[in-house]
Amino acid sequence: MRILVLGAGGYLGGHVTERLRALPGARVLVGGRSPGADVAVDLAADRPRLLAGALAKAAPDAVVNCAGATGGDAVTLAEVNARGPAALCAALRAAAPGARLVHLGSAAEYGAGTPGLRVAESEPCAPAGPYGATKLAGTVAVASSGLDAVVLRVGNPVGAGAPATGLPGRVAALLAEVADPGDPEGELRLGDLSAYRDFVDVRDVARAVELAATAPGPLPPVLNVGGGEALPVRELVRRLADAAGFRGRIAETGGDGNGSGGGGGSERSARVSWQCSDISAAAAALGWAPAHALDASVAALWEARSRSFVPDGVAAP
């Protein structure tokens, strides 16, 4: 089986590629703009005809699109998150119409949820900002493409390699810079951490992608991939602080409910105080359920971060 992964150099894409490369009988090709890519493609810039030519040469049985932008202005977000999937679908229809397409969407497409309730795939979407809106546009392009395609709407992924553009990675970066984490007089200043989020281990996301790429027969157009429960953001921060051995005070200084008021959160999550996904459809269609508890996700994140952190003035090995 030939599987083409787009966006393999990103956070989710890296974990997905690693998982797929362990799949018996699979040949994983990496597509992107880097010189080392197996297939040279740029979803945000290439014309569909050029993309189709590259896809025809790759002859994939499945394509996994992990490419996406989580930050930047509205134009950048639209080019990558909306235009990219639409161009990919047009190219696949021309070059590999029988390939299975697995596209990574986002729970941000739903917008603000109702406290206490899980949102199912059939619920209307009302994204709260450009990120969610452009991800929703990408989902619509894929779901209406006529291809053998499925969108995995991912919750808030946590795990090794989490980037500093999101809350888990940003907090891990701040904790890594604390001179004496065991000092009870220490302080970590963040924004308001009262929002609730549906956290999912990045390894569980990668497993869902594997199942979606290899499942026989058609799949539902959209499947939620989350933890299935909402936890306060401050709970994630507290557990991450515990993993780091931080014994000081976590100060909430206001902000948007996602930690960004003190430099710890994600602007794209503003105005959304509750997110929780109903993951029963993924269980029915893929036999998938999250296997990693949040403590395991946090431990993996901190272990990877502490290995990679080099204090100022210390030479890297």
Q: What is the mean pLDDT of the chain?
A: 91
Average pLDDT over residues 88-114: 96
Angstrom distance (rounded) from CA 199 to CA 201: 7
The residue annotated as part of the active site, out of 11, 110, 131, 196, is 131
Task: Name the CATH topology of 2-158+201-228+277-291.
Answer: Rossmann fold (3.40.50)
Give pLDDT, residue 272: 87
Where do the structural domains in the chain lie, given as residue ranges?
2-158+201-228+277-291
| pTM, rounded to two decimals | 0.92
Of 266, 214, 295, 268, nearest to 20 (Cα)?
A: 214
Asked if pLDDT for residue 257 goes beyond 70, the answer is no
Asked if pLDDT for residue 157 goes beyond 60, the answer is yes
Asked if pLDDT for residue 190 goes beyond 70, the answer is yes
∠ CA(118), CA(251), CA(194), 5° rounding?
Answer: 15
Which has more confidence, 46 or 61?
A: 61
Give pLDDT, residue 312: 37
Active site residue 131: yes
Strands 39-40 and 27-32: parallel
